[in-house]
Amino acid sequence: MPALSDRVIKRWTSIAAYLLGASVPLVSLGKAVLAVLIFFPAVLALVSAGRCMSVTFNWCNFFRKPFVLGVIVVCLLWFISSVLSIDPIKSLTTWSRTLAIFILGAILTHYFANKSDQLKIAQKSLIASSFLIFLLASYSLYIDTSLFELYALLKSGRADLIQSLKPFSSVTVCLIPVLLWSGWRLGGRWYALAILAIPLAGLTIYGRGIQPSTSALAGLGGAVIFVIVAAVFIRLSRRSAWLSGIVLILISIYSALYLVVNLPPPPFDEIASLQLPFPDPHRQVIWGFTIDVIKSFPIIGVGPNTVNMVPGADRVIPYFNQEYLPAHPHNWVLEVAAETGMLGLFGLLVTIGIAFKNLIIRSTRNPGAAWAAIALLAVFFISSLGNFSIWSSWWLSTLSILLIFPLADLNSSLKTANAHR
């Protein structure tokens, strides 16, 4: 009976690994697919966590870590913003959902860090499902559109293939670093399959050149530059690293101030008043309106996921015949600043900085996994400067799920090193 029980547990664990690996690539079939596929792995991990984390997990050391302290401070600041929000129910719901997504991601990371064989199954599932989806998307885009258009028609009521796949472009660029690292880690035919998936991913992102996702392309290009700069940065002397860091911070501050000064404040009068060559005119008006909200609520903001509810947000701009803020600012920095204040934004930026620092330090022991996580975070946050709401459940879940792969491998290698000591 114990042997049978072990076989059953292993079988169910393998199924969970397959579902985890396929969940993000299959989001192309609908955002709800992500929730359906991740449900079983989540339940399995939660049951396992309830049995073993209280015994094997060092809670005291965990809460002394700077990154964890940063996360706790950010959560408290965002909670205060939610309670004092212009719509507390909506903000507290958003806060709770965001917290749940990343707690679940942390539990799944801990779970798969202790099951390296199952992590490899999840990586194989990720590579295979990504290749198949990219192949299907490329075939539909460039050879025969009927299959995906039929699915789009059944799902949304309109057979617009390009618009249906456009959100998946941002998911695709997030998949690329994890896909390449997983293939490299597994080796053999899996590495070959991961390499073959990359040009298909490029075709998916390009989308026949009809409204290609500029935010996805910017995220990919920005991540490549970020990784190169970070790789050069860690090879500098301590003094040079500090000087370079200060220069980069000053450049970032100058760029942000230049953007703020040149964005059109409400009310918007005419297109000739726009000073910036990019982004598109309506996006500039949205950002200008959001900055006006930040100036009015600078400390704790208006509450998570409520910036489109402030007075004037639903007012129609005569020139564009669209609202000043239809749904969200399409920029995570402005969105967090407007909705959780400068305190919430500063806390988040510091915590992200700590995360990057920890990953760079860990890159000396497990470079593949560490740089995959660094590239993924860079792609996500750079592309989020121009696409979805940072509170969007499916978009945050995409990040949380993909981070499981490199972080679980990093934690596994750290445990192995500690055991050898």
pLDDT digits (tens, 9 = 90+) for 280-337: 777 888 888 999 999 999 999 999 999 999 998 888 887 777 888 888 898 999 999 9
ω into 279 cis (within 30 of 0): yes
Q: Which of 29-33, 79-83, 159-163, 395-399 has the lowest mean pLDDT?
A: 159-163
What six digits make up the tokens of 299? 């400390």
Percent of the chain clearing pLDDT 90 (strictly above): 43
- Burial class, 22, CB count within 10 angstroms (exposed 0-12 / middle 13-18 / buried 19+): buried
Range scoring the smallest mean pLDDT among 188-192, 227-231, 298-302, 413-417:
413-417
What's residue 274's pLDDT?
A: 65
Per-residue pLDDT at 178 exceeds 90: yes
Decide if pLDDT at 250 tops 60. yes
What's the whole-model pTM score?
0.89
Q: What is the mean pLDDT of the chain?
A: 84
Q: Give pLDDT, residue 148.
A: 66
Please give the distance of CA 51 from its chain centroid, rounded to a whole number.
30
Mean pLDDT score, 180-205: 93
Whole-number Å distance between alpha carbons of 321 and 303: 27
Task: Show the DSSP H helices in 143-213 as ranges.
Answer: 146-156, 161-186, 188-206
Q: Residue 13 has what pLDDT?
A: 83
State yes or no: pLDDT of 271 exceeds 90. no
pLDDT at 181 over 80: yes
Strand extents, DSSP E, 171-321: 316-317
Least confident interval from 176-180, 262-266, 268-272, 348-352: 268-272
Instruction: Tell which wins on pLDDT, 231 or 272.
Output: 231
Q: Place 4 in a pLDDT band, splitting at 50, 70 and 90.
A: very low
The pLDDT, as a whole number, for residue 216 is 85
Sequence-distant (≥ 6) Cβ neighbours of residue 410 within 8 angstroms:
362, 366, 369, 370, 373
Predicted pLDDT at 177 = 95
Q: Residue 210: exposed, middle, or buried by beta-carbon count in 10 A (0-12, 13-18, 19+)? A: exposed
What is residue 10's predicted lDDT score, i.e. its pLDDT? 76
Tokens of 417: 């090193």
What tokens does 80 get? 């205060």
For the chain, which residues make up each domain, given as ranges?
A: 2-234+340-420
Q: Rounded CA gap, 25 and 28, in Å?
A: 6
